[in-house]
Amino acid sequence: MSNRKLLSIEMGRMDAAEYRERPGSGLAVVLDNIRSAHNVGSAFRTADCFKADKIWLCGICATPPSAEIHKSALGAEFSVPWEYAADTMEAIRSLRAQGYTIVSAEQTTESVKLDSFVPEPGRKYAVVFGNEVDGVSQDAVDASDCSLEIPQYGTKHSFNVSVSIGIILWHLHSGLSK
């Protein structure tokens, strides 16, 4: 028996219209002043993979249409609903009003290690991911219900934001889909 790669047509991928018609995952992504349009594009692509409800692009984030976003997103900017907010707190207030639990992906004095965090089925989570240099703003951390920290064992104390988005969304999606 051979182990061959699947062709794209064998994967049963939905188009952008089908994506929007299907129920969401209960996950939303908030990008708090992400400088790199390529990181924004990667966030769209990862959010698409986990069927995120929405991405909020806040502050200095690039917004579609953008060649740099498209290069990393591979078209996911057309499937994942998104909204721009000049201030991250505006996005947090809107998401809280929609029943989301607000989570900052940040190392804080009270952060919970991701491998210890068990998402509650039926609960919706909006995760705030921060700027590549400064992380999540203190205002957003203060407005969060909790902070999640990805355990790390090397000399660096951070991941690229696009990697953090993948790790955390995978963990939350895995926990919510059980």
Residue 77's closest CA among 104, 54, 100?
54
* 139: CATH: 3.40.1280.10
Residue 75 within any structural domain of the chain: yes
Most distant CA pair in the chain, distance:
56
Residue 47 lies in a domain: yes
Per the domain annotation, does 133 fall within a domain? yes
Q: Which residues contact 9 (CB under 8 A, 6 or more apart)?
A: none
Burial class (CB in 10 A: 0-12, 13-18, 19+), 15: exposed
Asked if residue 9 belongs to a domain, the reply is no
| Domain limits for position 90 | 22-176
Q: Is residue 2 part of a domain?
A: no
Q: Going residue by residue through the chain (178 aa), what tens digit of pLDDT does each one get?
A: 689 999 988 888 888 888 888 888 999 999 999 999 999 999 999 999 999 999 999 999 999 999 999 999 999 999 999 999 999 999 999 999 999 999 999 999 999 999 999 999 999 999 999 999 999 999 999 999 999 999 999 998 889 999 999 999 999 999 888 6
Q: Is residue 115 part of a domain?
A: yes
For the chain, how many structural domains are there in total?
Answer: 1
